[in-house]
Amino acid sequence: MTAASDFRALEATNRRETAVLVAAMIAILAALGFGLDVWSGSIRITDGSVSGFPLLTIFALIFGAVQALISFYGGTRLVLLSVHAHPLTADTIQHQRVLDTINEMAIAARMPTPRAYLMDDPAPNAFATGRDPAHSVICVTQGLVDTMDREEMQGVIGHEMSHIRDYDIRTMMMVAVMVGGIAMLSDFFFRMMFYSGGRRRSSNDKNGGGGGILVIYLATLILAAVAPIVAQLVAMAISRQREYLADASSVEFTRNPHALLRALEQIAKSESPLKAATSGTGHLFIVNPREGVREDRERFFDNLLSTHPPLTKRIERLRAMLGAPGQATAVRQS
C-alpha cells in the first residue's frame, strides 16, 4: 500500500469514527431530555403506553443547537481572546518567514490562506481554529518562531493546515460545545431532582407506570452522573485520532517526513510551559500544553485522559515512514 493510500484510508476511518461519536453525544442529550420529561411529568407512562409531549427533550436538543450556533459564529474570536493572541505582522524576518510558510502550505493544500496570529509565549506550540477553511486561523507562539527552522516550521504549519482542510477545527469546536451542553443539562437534572423532592416522580407512579418508570428514573440518574465524564472522554478520543491524521497529512503537504519529525523532537525537548493555554483550548494545540510530561506516558489510563496521543508514538509513526522504526526511544530519554 502506498503512502497516499495510507493517508486516504486513515482519513476515511477517522471520519466514520467521528460521525459515530458525535451521533452518540446527540443521543445522550436526547436521553437526558427524555429523563427530565419523565421526571417532570411531561411524559406519562400508563399501562405500557406513552402519552404527553416531550417538551424537555426538544428543549435539550434546541439548547445544544443554540450553543453550537453561538460557538460556530463566535468561537474563533473567543479562542483567540482566551489565549491573548494578536495578528501576526511581518515586523521581523522570522515573522515574515512564518507568513510565507503559511502561504506555501495553503498552496500545497489548495486552500485559502488562513489568517496568522501570534502568542507572546516562549513555549514552542501552535494551533488552528475557525469554522471552515475560508474563516480559519493559524496561531503560533513566539517560542515556536524562535525554535524552528524553515523546514520544521513547514511541518508544524502543514499539521495545522490538515486540521483546517479536514474540518477538524469545526468538529472539535462542535464536540466541545456538546460536552459543555451535556454537563450543563446533567447539572440541571440534579438541581431539578433536588428542588422537586420527588413530588413529580410520585405523581407519575400513581398513573400506573410501575416498574417501568422506576427503571427510567434509575437509568436517567446513572446517565446524568456519568454522561459528562463519558462525553469528555469521547472528545479526547476524537482529538487523539485526529492528531495522527494531521501528522500524516503534514507529510503529504510537505512531502518531507523529516520536517514534522524534527519539529516534534524539538517540542519534546522543551520544558517551557505555555501559560496562556486553558483546559478549554489545550486540545487545539499541536502538543497539549497542559498535560506536560503525562502526555508522553503510554499507560492505558494516561492515554484515556489525554487529548493527544503520546508524543513518542507520533514520532515513531513518522520514523516508520522513513523506514527507521524504534528510534523514538532515544527521544523519550532525552
Q: Give pLDDT tens digits for 144-177.
A: 999 999 999 999 999 999 999 888 887 777 676 6
The per-residue pLDDT for 331 is: 38
Q: By CB neighbour count within 10 A (0-12 exposed, 13-18 middle, 19+ buried), where does 308 fall? A: buried
**CA 20: distance to chain centroid?**
15
- Give percent above pLDDT 90 in the chain: 24
The per-residue pLDDT for 18 is: 63
Q: For residue 118, what are the β-bridge partners?
A: 86, 140
The per-residue pLDDT for 94 is: 94
Whether 195 shows a pLDDT value over 90: the answer reads no
Scanning 110-209, the segments in alpha helix (DSSP H) are: 142-147, 150-165, 168-196, 199-204
The per-residue pLDDT for 209 is: 53
Q: What's the CA gap between 202 and 214, in Å, rounded?
A: 10
The per-residue pLDDT for 147 is: 92
Cell of 72: 460556530
Mean pLDDT of 14-21: 66
Query: Of 122, 106, 90, nearest to 272 (Cα)?
Result: 122
Mean pLDDT of 131-153: 93
Cell of 145: 518562531
Q: pLDDT tens digits, residue range 48-82?
A: 677 778 888 888 888 777 777 777 788 888 889 88
Q: What's the CA gap between 232 and 175, in Å, rounded?
A: 9
Q: pLDDT tens digits, residue range 25-55?
A: 777 878 888 888 887 777 776 766 777 788 8
Whether 205 shows a pLDDT value over 50: the answer reads yes
User: Could you tell me if 154 and 264 are in contact, meaning their C-beta atoms sit under 8 angstroms apart?
Assistant: no
Total number of residues shown for the chain: 334
User: Could you tell me if 119 and 83 are in contact, meaning their C-beta atoms sit under 8 angstroms apart?
Assistant: yes
User: Could you tell me if 198 and 39 are in contact, meaning their C-beta atoms sit under 8 angstroms apart?
Assistant: no
In order of 33, 38, 124, 244, the CA distances from 30 in angstroms are 5, 12, 41, 31
Angle, vertex CA 178, rays to CA 200 and CA 52, nearest 5: 30
Classify the C-alpha dihedral 220-222-224-227 as positive or negative: negative
Mean pLDDT of 200-225: 66
Cell of 180: 459543555
User: Could you tell me if 14 and 245 are in contact, meaning their C-beta atoms sit under 8 angstroms apart?
Assistant: yes
C-alpha R_g of the chain: 23
- Please, which pLDDT band fits residue 98 given cuts at 50, 70 and 90? very high
The per-residue pLDDT for 308 is: 81
Whether 328 shows a pLDDT value over 50: the answer reads no
The per-residue pLDDT for 56 is: 84
User: Could you tell me if 263 and 155 are in contact, meaning their C-beta atoms sit under 8 angstroms apart?
Assistant: yes
Question: Greatest CA span in the chain, whole angstroms?
Answer: 76
The per-residue pLDDT for 166 is: 83
> Average model confidence (pLDDT) for the chain?
78
The per-residue pLDDT for 101 is: 96
The per-residue pLDDT for 150 is: 92
Q: pLDDT tens digits, residue range 228-262?
A: 777 777 777 777 778 888 888 888 888 888 899 99
Query: Of 141, 153, 163, nearest to 103 (Cα)?
Result: 153
Whether 221 shows a pLDDT value over 50: the answer reads yes
- Please, which pLDDT band fits residue 89 given cuts at 50, 70 and 90? very high
Q: What's the CA gap between 86 and 80, in Å, rounded?
A: 8
Q: Which of 109-118, 152-161, 202-211 has the lowest mean pLDDT?
A: 202-211
* pTM: predicted TM-score of the whole model, two decimal places: 0.73
Q: What's the CA gap between 34 and 31, in Å, rounded?
A: 5
The per-residue pLDDT for 332 is: 38
Cell of 99: 507568513
> What residues are labeled active site?
160
Q: pLDDT tens digits, residue range 281-313?
A: 777 888 877 655 444 555 555 566 677 888 888
Question: Could you tell me which residue, 237 or 120, shows the higher pLDDT?
Answer: 120
The per-residue pLDDT for 309 is: 84
- Sheet order of strands, 126-130 included: 86-87, 115-119, 136-141, 126-130
